[in-house]
Chains A and B, each alone.
Chain A
């Protein structure tokens, strides 16, 4: 069901890193109606010590527009008090941040579900592509999309909350 007033959200696509605590504080500072904060941070993961870096290519303009479209769906679907989504591009070494979703709400369920929903759609519908650069290889390899990610995203079409 759609909320009568929709919460504003922040979407950023950037090369530089983000500060999870600082971004969280923006959503909670000076308000007393927030009962739950869910933050999801996606990191660049090393594959057994072989990865030099992930290179993230994106479609400028469309990336922001697609993320905003799903952010809008999330604030209409769940009673959130705040929402911030940041996705990085460029070369990112193992251990560094790639993506951040922070959802805040009065109660935990909305914040959990909204962040889960957003990550599923970021993975399959936002125009970003990962290329793996291995330490031992001169050429990078494009990461292939996974069917399980499409299946995860499809869950939200069948399973509409009350």
Chain B
């Protein structure tokens, strides 16, 4: 599964995109955030307030209870500030 990070999530994780093998215990986008947060300090910092983080699956906005099966691309990013 491809994971992408934008804005301060990209900076804090030190990664713009990576491919991971989804552990069997991780079913939802929210569980994926908890799993990523446990990786190292940078990831812990990035995901310290998961409720503020926006999630997209295959480039569509989803909520954290979204089930990830068959998902090709997950993206995590802060609230958007375009326009």
In the assembled complex, how far is the CB of residue B36 from the closest CB belonging to chain A, in whole angstroms? 18
Per-residue B-contact encoding for A107-140, CB less than 8 Å = 1, 0 else: 0000000000001001111111111000000000
Q: A59-B77, A130-B82 are in contact. Are A125 and B59 (CB under 8 A)?
A: no
Which chain A residue shows the least CB distance to B75? A59
Q: Do B81 and A127 have beta carbons less than 8 Å apart?
A: no
A62 in contact with B81 (CB, 8 Å): no
B35 CB to closest chain A CB, in angstroms?
A: 22
Which B64-83 residues have a C-beta within 8 angstroms of A? Answer: 75, 77-83
Q: How large is the interface on B (under 10, 10 to 19, 20 to 34, 35 or more residues)?
A: 10 to 19
Q: Which residues of A contact B45 (CB under 8 A)?
A: none
- Please, which residues of chain A bring their CB within 8 A of the CB of B7? 57, 129, 131, 142
Is residue A56 within 8 Å, beta carbon to beta carbon, of the partner chain?
yes
Does A61 count as interface, using CB distance less than 8 angstroms? yes
| Cβ proximity bits B4-45 to A, threshold 8 Å, 1 near / 0 not | 101110100000000000000000000000000000000000
Pick from A59, A65, A126, A142: contact of B83, CB under 8 Å: A126
- Interface flag for B56 (CB, 8 Å): yes
Whole-angstrom CA separation of A57 from B16 in the bound complex:
12
Chain B's closest residue to A142 (CB) is B8
Query: Is A143 interfacial (CB 8 A cutoff)?
Result: yes
Instruction: Indicate whether A75 reaches chain B with its CB closer than 8 angstroms.
Output: no
B61 at interface, CB cutoff 8 A: yes
Interchain CA distance A143-B4 in the complex, whole Å: 20
Contacts of B80 in A (CB 8 A): 123-129, 145
Interface residues of A (CB under 8 A from B): 42, 56-59, 61-63, 65, 87, 98-99, 119, 122-131, 142-145
A-B pairs with lowest CB-CB distance, top 3: A128-B82, A145-B79, A123-B83
Chain B residues with CB under 8 Å of chain A are 4, 6-8, 10, 56, 59, 61, 75, 77-83
Q: List 23 A-B contacts (CB under 8 A).
A: A57-B6, A57-B7, A58-B82, A59-B6, A62-B56, A62-B59, A98-B83, A99-B82, A99-B83, A122-B83, A123-B80, A123-B82, A127-B56, A127-B77, A127-B82, A128-B82, A129-B80, A129-B81, A130-B81, A131-B7, A143-B81, A145-B78, A145-B79
